[in-house]
Structure 1
Amino acid sequence: MADPFKNLAWDDFRLIKAVADAKGLPAAAAQIGVNHSTVFRRLKQIEEAIGTTLFERHRTGYALTPAGEELVALAQRLDDEITSTGRRIAGREPAPCGELRVTTPDSLLIHLLIPMMADFRRRYPQVQLDIVLSNQALNLSRRDADVAIRATDNPPENLVGRRLARIAWALYGRAEDFPDPAAVDEASLSTCNWVALGETMGALKAVKYVQKHVPPENVAYRVNTVLGLAEAVEAGLGIGHIPCMIGDARPSLVRLTPPVPDFAADLWLLTHPDLRHAPRVRAFLDFLAEQIGKHRRFIEGGGLLLDAAPPAAAEPAPAE
């Protein structure tokens, strides 16, 4: 008897899994980069080839049959194996070359990293940088990115990396509004207009502070990026807590308080254990550790003067 699965290709398993994840054809088609009619036609061909129905069609979407659940589980195992093999092979490059995907928040890229990226490219011209701006935890296990640059006190346990500095935060306002910041009465600041990060970043202690201590009617502006927060303070929309490395770099802003230790967060370089010895990843991690080490005092709220301290010691993420 002929094996009904013999003619199924990896793309067929991907299609089945995409339909299962999306619970419908249009979203599945967008996920795998084909049109709706192609998914419909190919799914019908697969079901005819194996002689069983994989999905029940409901008004609310596509639901897996028991046979469909088995194939999706198989597709997931295949996907995991392919991804894992790809990571291991990527670690055997003879020299730093190829594409390196790096995810970082916009504030770190604009205020710290772009000159370092340019210097890295001059040293390693065979490495092409693909930068993904995101505050979200992309899945490095699935190679959504090769390296993550994150401000966090709790790096994912499945990643390894280096803690390079501690990002200081302080309260800032416009210099023209506060010509003598040393004379500012901190108790009166809650009556000022404030700018704050949105609820999507509510885990940050700076956000919780505003929620607890600033009357809601005094919060004039919310935004979901740290870079946008600094722009709002500079535009005069209100006072707000921002990283010192952003506020101190803007002559139009002044600190209204010293750095708040409780708001600080560690700056991490992170990667997947299977990729940490890949030449392009290792070169990038070593290079950025050295460069960020030179700016450590600035990042930690010491002002614009860069110190000449040696690079920050590499520290493992919890999994290493």
Structure 2
Amino acid sequence: MKLVLAIARAGSLGGGAAALAVNHSTAFRRLNALEDKLGVRLFERLPGGVYQPTAAGERVASTAERVETEADALSRDVSGQDQRLVGSLRVTSSETLAYSVLTAELARFRTAHPGIVVDLVVDNRILSLSRREADIALRVTRPKEPDLFGRKLADIGWTLYGAPSLVGDGPVDLAAFDFVGWGEDASGIAAADWINERIARTRVVYRASSLINQFTAAKAGIGLVLLPCYLGDPEPGLCRVIDEPIAELARELWIVTHTDLRKTARVRAFFSIVGDGLIAKSSLMRGERLA
């Protein structure tokens, strides 16, 4: 059932195999064996490696999803009653947050609770807390799902940065500068859209899907870059090109967990230590100029 659900979600055998951390040939053998045993075809094999569920496949996948949901709910319910400050805690965070301000707070948490092992998943995607892809998420969006519990930690400011040797001391004409930006398929990312709307395409001379790589490229003098202030301001190899945070790029940082886990001792301890630590850095996060 897990195999059929994984393939149905991914839309391909390779994607389903990757989700289950097995190789392609193993998933292929298991699916063929399952179809032989049931005497029914579960997927139509379409051109381009697409696997489309048949009516039987949809029935199996739907049942598997219900079983998964019940199993995850049971797991959260049992975990939510755990009042021990030992065990593991799976946390997900963006790349830039993990690179900069988060690590020091994780060190403080480790000192306070050495019996808790933090498993940090650095991923810019929004992982599912309902499916236990993570226990706690640090997100730049307010949680909308009714089964999630969150706490706002800070506002996040963004502005434009460049290497001092590139920017100089005089007035800045953005049309005269090269830029570091996102890949061509990055529509929907606010920073990428801001660049696309205001900067000529020919002036974006370097593109990367990683904001940390963009940050590094800007320090090397390749071009100007949009960054969250908590990443750009502490870096001596960069200076602000636009003095104030850009209003339309403002975001919020939230710490989020599933409601079933909010009273777990490990989760409460993380909210308290790491959450309060990030709140204490809210001036840096907002992009306030410090003396």
Q: TM-score, normalised by structure 2?
A: 0.87
Q: Which has the larger radius of gyration?
A: 1
Question: 1:257, CA displacement in angstroms?
Answer: 1.4
Distance 1:165 1:246 in 2: 14
Sequence identity, in percent? 32
Question: 1:234, CA displacement in angstroms?
Answer: 0.5
User: What's the secondary structure of 2:287's corresponding residue?
Assistant: coil
Q: Do residues 171 (structure 1) and 160 (structure 2) align? A: yes
Distance 1:26 1:261 in 2: 42
Q: Does the C-alpha gap of structure 1 residues 288 and 24 become closer, same or farther in structure 2, counting only changes over 3 Å?
A: closer
Q: Do residues 266 (structure 1) and 252 (structure 2) align? A: yes
Structure 2, unaligned runs of 5 or more: none
User: What's the secondary structure of 2:160's corresponding residue?
Assistant: strand
**Which aligned runs of 4 or more in structure 1 are off by greater than 6 angstroms?**
none
Question: 1:179, CA displacement in angstroms?
Answer: 3.6
Q: Do residues 39 (structure 1) and 25 (structure 2) align? A: no
Q: Does the C-alpha gap of structure 1 residues 279 and 213 become closer, same or farther in structure 2, counting only changes over 3 Å?
A: same
- Provide Cα deviations, 1:122-166, integer angstroms capped at 9, x if missing partner: 1111111111111111111101111111223x4343422111111
Show the counterpart of 1:208: 193
Question: 1:90, CA displacement in angstroms?
Answer: 0.8
Q: Does the C-alpha gap of structure 1 residues 57 and 179 become closer, same or farther in structure 2, counting only changes over 3 Å?
A: closer
Show the counterpart of 1:246: 231
Distance 1:295 1:231 in 2: 23
Distance 2:239 2:51 in 1: 56
Q: Does the C-alpha gap of structure 1 residues 199 and 112 become closer, same or farther in structure 2, counting only changes over 3 Å?
A: farther
Select 1:298's aligned residue among 278, 281, 284.
284
Show the counterpart of 1:191: 176
Question: 1:197, CA displacement in angstroms?
Answer: 2.6
Question: 1:62, CA displacement in angstroms?
Answer: 5.8
Q: Does the C-alpha gap of structure 1 residues 122 and 18 become closer, same or farther in structure 2, counting only changes over 3 Å?
A: same
Select 2:136's aligned residue among 139, 142, 147.
147
Show the counterpart of 2:42: 55
The count of residues paired between Structure 1 and Structure 2 equals 284
User: What's the secondary structure of 1:224's corresponding residue?
Assistant: coil
Question: 1:218, CA displacement in angstroms?
Answer: 0.9
Select 1:236's aligned residue among 221, 225, 229.
221
Q: How does 1:6-25 map to 2 (within 5 A)?
A: 13-21=1-9
- Provide Cα deviations, 1:29-57, integer angstroms capped at 9, x if missing partner: 5544552465156415641xxxx425366
Q: TM-score, normalised by structure 1?
A: 0.79
Structure 1, unaligned runs of 5 or more: 1-12, 306-320
Q: Does the C-alpha gap of structure 1 residues 62 and 209 become closer, same or farther in structure 2, counting only changes over 3 Å?
A: closer
Asked if 2 retains the 8 angstrom alpha-carbon contact of 1:95 and 1:280, the reply is: yes
Select 2:208's aligned residue among 220, 223, 226.
223
Distance 2:203 2:156 in 1: 27
Counterpart amino acid of residue 220 in structure 1? V
Asked if 2 retains the 8 angstrom alpha-carbon contact of 1:248 and 1:304, the reply is: no
Between 253-262 and 38-47, report the one with greater CA deviation.
38-47
Q: Does the C-alpha gap of structure 1 residues 214 and 73 become closer, same or farther in structure 2, counting only changes over 3 Å?
A: closer
Asked if 2 retains the 8 angstrom alpha-carbon contact of 1:96 and 1:127, the reply is: yes
Show the counterpart of 1:256: 241
Distance 1:64 1:206 in 2: 37
Structure 1 vs Structure 2 CA RMSD: 2.5
Q: Do residues 112 (structure 1) and 101 (structure 2) align? A: yes
